[in-house]
Amino acid sequence: MRRLSFIFASIAITLWGLAVQAAPRVSISGSEIDVEGIAPGGEALLFGVARATENYAITAHRTTMVLEDSDLDGTVTFDYGGTVPLRSVWLGIDLATGEHAEASPVGFSSRELPWPPQAIPAALNRLELDNALLQVVLVRPRAAAPSNEAHGVWTVRTGDGGLADSDGTQNGRVRVELSDFKSVDGSGSPPKQVTPEDRLFVIDLLSLQWSASGRPGEEP
């Protein structure tokens, strides 16, 4: 009987571990955006862009915020401060695993684009993307951070020919150096190189199309 109890306990622990590793879920209701399915007591990054008309002009509101599950229920909530705009895209990223999910309000369908295979050159110290105006996020998951480097979240806004475009020309392509990324969560300087465990997320501020690099452990 003791052996059987041990087997059941082992199965329960294994299933719990699989649940923790599962991708989170993002849901939107009124002014609130929930990221569900993270480890109890964990943290999630909410990364989103909303386009709304203000004073006859279209404005892109960017959100990059780390949310802590302080009540240990595996869910974190962000209050937008008003009804979440229809034209918006929201990514919820589990900072322990790097797994992510995406949602937009009912009535708007965002479009995910494949991660460009040549986005990261051999030097691993920058990104090269064919877009005009972008917000980029780099996540180094807690579970994947090398022992000599911190986990964390960094972001940069970039535009063709300016705004952290290191090639300095309007050529339909942006080149973003990792050194230009800024910390979101107080984790200090950005990594010097991208590793296979890192996750990269890009939202086009004009079209709201988005891309994500490979799953943790895969080549980005």
Spans of all domains in the chain: 23-212
Which pLDDT score, from 0 to 100, does residue 64 have?
98
Residues β-bridged to residue 162: 159
Q: Which portions of the chain are predicted below pLDDT 70?
A: 1-21, 144-149, 215-220
CB within 8 A of 183, min separation 6: which ones? 152, 153, 154, 189, 190
Which pLDDT score, from 0 to 100, does residue 29 have?
98
Contact 152, 187 (CB under 8 A): yes
123-137 per-position pLDDT tens digit: 999 999 998 899 999
CA distances from 193 to 120, 147, 154, 155, 219 (A): 10, 15, 13, 15, 13
Which pLDDT score, from 0 to 100, does residue 66 have?
98
Of 173, 88, 94, nearest to 134 by C-alpha is 173
Which pLDDT score, from 0 to 100, does residue 142 have?
84
Which pLDDT score, from 0 to 100, does residue 11 have?
37
Which pLDDT score, from 0 to 100, does residue 198 have?
94
Contact 166, 175 (CB under 8 A): yes
Contact 208, 86 (CB under 8 A): no
Which pLDDT score, from 0 to 100, does residue 219 have?
52
Which pLDDT score, from 0 to 100, does residue 148 have?
55
